[in-house]
Chains A and B, each alone.
Chain A
């Protein structure tokens, strides 16, 4: 099972199941499996996997047993009304995270975009500006690598990487486990960089104060129409890489209009993480909106 190319858990080669793993830059020995039953202890995954298997076998066994030995018991079916939100469990966990953030006066931002739109670059731009004014910490979501976490680590702020493996989004449980592994200060800012994907991260509330969706001018201006759920769920949209506008065919007004069609409450900002143009305006808005600083 130690497929060299697939394994992201270098320590124990345990990642073929695609479960999420927490890692920290500069601590190569450190890793925690998110799905290991709550303890968050390193290397307990083997046991958990085994007990899950055993559980499945038990269920199977019961089934066969019934059919083989209890012919005189007839099987009746009964309709049970549930009306339960499919994402109930995630939503409940997200509310717990939200309660934790509120109690500690932590503002959590969930950054969402396609790969390459500039989430990490934007964090690299704003963190030095914010850092002197309030504590900042970062959770990085990525399927495989710690590259982004390493970039944030270089800025000298606490960062934890959640490698989601085959999972294409962060969920509230991963955040809860990551929070457990971090010591966030009171009255601070937590930036969460979600996995680069505009589809399912929209469905998973993490407990954040705001969802920030980023698109860049090198993408299509119809992106909001292609990923309406994401733009519908977002609180604000940042159009990044405006320094490239002279070189690309991108209709800013049309993109904005498309975004507003999907969500008329959406706040809109245009900036360049590279040159810093427009960043101050956005941070000013953020400050006011969140009574941050």
Chain B
């Protein structure tokens, strides 16, 4: 299950950032997971809690934003929704489609807890 190793690398990255920022915990992690990124959002969320247990991110809420796939036709320039299965231009039937959105896989932001003075 590759979502587990991905979850572990997310935890590793956010914990490193939180430590660098002097945080004592992470309350939220925002991920951008494009619909075409090849990631099962449910499986990732499931693995995340196991991967984060006992770390600074152990209590963190995982928030997923899932941008839709958008393709651009190489012939006529039309932009239209794609889900990979029918990456064919609805206008000119071309198969020369470039994916312009939906492949994102980013850690957008984290919310860290800090000790007040």
* Interface residue ranges, A against B (CB under 8 Å): 56, 59-60, 62-63, 66, 70, 73-90, 166-169, 171, 199-200, 202-203, 225, 228-229, 232, 260-262, 264
Contact = CB atoms under 8 A, between A and B. Distances in A.
Contacts of B21: 78, 80
A63 B55 CA distance: 10
12 contacts: A62-B24, A75-B24, A76-B113, A82-B110, A168-B1, A169-B2, A200-B2, A200-B5, A225-B84, A228-B36, A261-B95, A264-B96
Contacts of B12: 89
A277 B23 CA distance: 61
A25 B95 CA distance: 46
Nearest to B97: A264
Majority SS at the chain A contact face: mixed
Interface residues of B, number: 46
Contact of A225 (B85, B97, B106): B85
A89 B17 CA distance: 13
A79 B63 CA distance: 13
B101 interface: no
A169 B6 CA distance: 11
Given A199-B2, A261-B88, A86 B113 contact: no
Interface of B: 1-2, 4-6, 9-10, 12-14, 17, 21, 23-25, 27, 31, 36-39, 54-56, 84-88, 95-97, 99, 105-117
Contact of B109 (A82, A86, A261): A82
Nearest to A84: B107
B71 to A, nearest CB: 11
A228 B84 contact: yes
A69 to B, nearest CB: 12
B115 A75 contact: yes
A261 B36 contact: no
Contacts of A200: 2, 5-6, 38
Contacts of B36: 228-229, 232
Contact of B38 (A84, A167, A202, A261): A202
Given A76-B116, A89-B12, 16 more contacts: A73-B115, A75-B24, A78-B21, A78-B112, A80-B21, A82-B108, A83-B108, A83-B109, A84-B13, A86-B105, A87-B9, A167-B5, A199-B2, A203-B6, A228-B85, A232-B36
Contacts of A79: 109-111
Nearest to B15: A59
Q: Which 3 pairs show the lowest CB-CB distances between chains A and B?
A: A200-B2, A229-B38, A228-B84
A99 to B, nearest CB: 21
| Most chain A beta-carbon neighbours within 10 Å: one of B5, B88, B111, B112 | B5
Given A167-B5, A261-B87, A70 B115 contact: yes
A71 to B, nearest CB: 11
A220 B45 CA distance: 31
B101 to A, nearest CB: 14
Nearest to A226: B85
Contacts of A262: 84, 87
